[in-house]
Structure 1
Amino acid sequence: MSETPETSVDLSDAELLDQTATAVRAAGSALHQRFGGVVPYTNFDDLMRALAANDDAVLDILRPRLARLRPQAGWVGDELDGGALPPGEWWVVDPAEGNVNHLHALHDWAVTATLVRENKPVLAVVHLPLTGETYSALAGAGAHVDGRPLSVSATADLGLSIVATSQARPDEDDDVVRRIGSSITAMLFDALVVRTSVPATLHLANVAAGRLDAFWQFAGARADLLPGALLVTEAGGRITDAQGNPWSPHSESFLATAPGVHAEAVATLSR
């Protein structure tokens, strides 16, 4: 596997996925080197500077590599942005997915890159530098972790399911906060175990791998949902909004499940 991305707009999508994974792993090593003790901050500005320093360390490596791979593709600069993208190809990147966990010396963080073509994810890479695992998905060609195929759970009973949710951002409005709280309460009644933590992408990787049976979130950004949505879809899972309608980046909710528990999950979240 080449360590230097090729400069070509003519790579097949499979070749592009391979080169993207190489670039993401290289950038992830920079974030790994910055991981250690808890990073202190005493106010919001300090926190923002610490988060930005992590992002910059990754983007200094990742952005030029991806731009070289796909010079014509646009770049989404804010990982918290949502909604549809303009026509064409776009790189949707989260340089430190779970960045706040990284600052708190927690292990749940990753580097992600997704190529979106005409508002549909074509390929996605999620790299976990601490474990060395690389999750990848190519539209129509399946989802894998380090070359091994992923498949969602065969569970068909929500009452036997481990489910998860995540807070999309720290400054959610009051209505979203209330929806999150009521949905967790509903799932505590109907599911076996409910996990609540950030980031969304790692929960979605676990759904794709069959370790979790469902994940839902209210609101959310492209960067924290698109890579995981492609992983789950290509692993055989279902992606809708919380009411069971087709999901898009415009949607106000998101649901990813093993097929056998989708209807029950929708019923629970629709109460």
Structure 2
Amino acid sequence: MTTQQHNDREILRLVEQAVVAAAEAIQDRFSIDARPIDRHDIGAKIQANDAISMSILQEKLAAARPEATLVEDELETGLLPPGEWWVVDPVEGAINQIHGMAEWCVSATLIRDNEPVITVVHLPLTGDTYSAVAGAGAQQNGQPLSVSAKRDIDAAMVGTGQAMPGESVQVYQMMGASVSTMLQTALTVRVSVPATLQLIQVAAGRMDAFWQFSQVRSGLVSGALLVQEAGGQLTDVHGKPWSLESEHFVAAPPQLSAAVTNALSPLIQTTYS
């Protein structure tokens, strides 16, 4: 283990404490009977939860790594300036949380010169914590994760979802076309949000691939590092290595990656032609 990895493991312990504390605060506000009544109510509930979680994350992450700057806009995309940045989602899957559904989490990822290097995702309703340090593997509750060993796309469970409400018409067209294509290519297709909760399944080998035609940084970086450290491959839809400036995203085991991108890449030209 390098000195940097050792230091990052020490930071990881503090990040886990921060993310768990924020998630537990939101868990206290969770009810399976929650039923927002309109878009105003939805927005108000999401904002209230985000504010509580973010205040905890800001304080604890600043203590864990004072040199890093917190990105406060969770819907940002693209490259960051050089240096260290915290990319967080204070309630990932917030729309699920306020509707009384269980599919939500809290995540925090340290980005160093545009590369994810430390991540923690905590699911308070199950008590599961997923974590990774670049070059040191990915874990669920301290146990190593490994991507699927499947070799045939027709046996694969795959998934996709939207980065956020209000995507462009072209993105929606590609999403619809991709689901149709993958229904004919893979064994089964899941369409849900948030992306991270599908990506942790890819990292754990329970799902075999995930793709998304647009990117919101906070929705991809934590799952991306988990998949990568679990032995997966990250590309864009054309099969080129994924980065924060990529316009689309594919995560899969190396032996399935080409089959996924070969199925999806023609949709880019078809949709925009």
CA contact (8 A) 1:184 1:194 kept: yes
Identify the match of residue 194 of structure 1 among 189, 211, 214.
189
* Alpha-carbon contact 1:239-1:246 (below 8 Å) kept: yes
- Corresponding position: 1:52 with 2:44: no
1:19 counterpart = 2:36:
no
Superposition deviation, residue 40 in structure 1: 3.9
Distance apart, 1:202 and its partner CA: 0.7
Report the equivalent of 1:240.
235
Superposed displacement of residue 270, structure 1: 1.6
Take 2:88 and 2:141, find their aligned partners in 1: how far apart are those partners?
20
Is the aligned partner of 1:214 residue 2:235? no
Cα distance in structure 1, aligned partners of 2:95 and 2:218: 15
**What fraction of aligned residue pairs are identical, expressed as a percent?**
51
Q: Which amino acid aligns with 1:144?
A: Q
- Contact 2:163–2:215 (8 Å) recurs in 1: yes
1:131 maps to amino acid: T
Contact conserved, 1:221 with 1:249, CA < 8 A, in 2? Answer: no
Gaps of 5+ in 2: 1-5, 267-273
TM-score w.r.t. the length of structure 2 is 0.93
* SS of residue matched to 1:12: helix
For 2:17, what is the secondary structure of its paired residue? helix
**Paired residue for 1:116?**
111
Task: Tell me, yes or no, if the aligned pair for 1:232 and 1:256 is still in contact at 8 Å.
Answer: yes
Q: For 2:233 and 2:222, how far apart are their aligned partners in 1?
A: 14
- The aligned residue for residue 72 of structure 1 is 67
**Aligned partners of 1:121, 1:210: CA distance in 2, in Å?**
21
Task: Answer whether contact 2:32 2:101 (CA < 8 A) is retained.
Answer: no
SS in 1 for 2:258: helix
The amino acid of 1:270's aligned partner reads S
Secondary structure in 2 matching 1:248:
coil
Contact 1:38–1:103 at 8 Å: present in 2 too?
no
Counterpart for residue 58 of structure 2 = 63
User: Secondary structure of 1:37's match?
Assistant: coil
| Distance (Å, rounded) in 2 between the aligned partners of 1:207 and 1:41 | 31
- 1:250 deviates by 1.7
Amino acid at match of 1:115: L
What's the counterpart of residue 80 of structure 2? Answer: 85
1: CA distance, partners of 2:245 / 2:174: 18
Higher mean alpha-carbon deviation, 192-201 vs 58-67, is at 58-67
Shift of 1:68: 1.3
Q: What amino acid is the match of 1:107?
A: A
Pick from 131, 152, 173 the counterpart of residue 178 of structure 1: 173
**After superposition, where does 1:85-104 map in structure 2 within 5 Å?**
85-104=80-99
- What one-letter code is carried by the residue in structure 2 that aligns with 1:103? I
Any conservation in 1 of the 2:35–2:100 contact (CA below 8 Å)?
no
Match for 2:248 among 244, 253, 256?
A: 253
Q: Structure 1: give runs of 5+ residues left out of the alignment.
A: 1-10
What is the SS of the residue equivalent to 1:84?
coil
Q: Which amino acid aligns with 2:210?
A: F
SS in structure 2 of the partner of residue 270 of structure 1: helix
Rounded to whole Å, the distance in 2 between the matches of 1:119 and 1:167 is 23
SS in 1 for 2:234: strand
Write the distance in 2 (CA, Å) between the matches of 1:124 and 1:30.
20
Query: 1:249, CA displacement in angstroms?
Result: 1.8
User: 2:219 matched to 1:224?
Assistant: yes
Is the 1:28–1:128 contact (alpha carbons within 8 Å) kept by the matching residues of 2?
yes
Tell me the distance in 1 between the aligned counterparts of 2:241 and 2:256: 17
* Aligned length in residues: 261
2:146 match: 151
Verify: 1:203 aligned to 2:198, yes or no: yes
Asked if residue 30 in structure 1 is aligned to residue 20 in structure 2, the reply is: no
Cα deviation code 1:68-117 (max 9, x no counterpart): 11112111111111000011100000010000000111111000000001
Whole-angstrom distance in 1 between the partners of 2:142 and 2:35: 38
Distance 2:183 2:248 in 1: 19
C-alpha deviation, 1:38, in angstroms:
4.4
Distance 1:159 1:37 in 2: 36
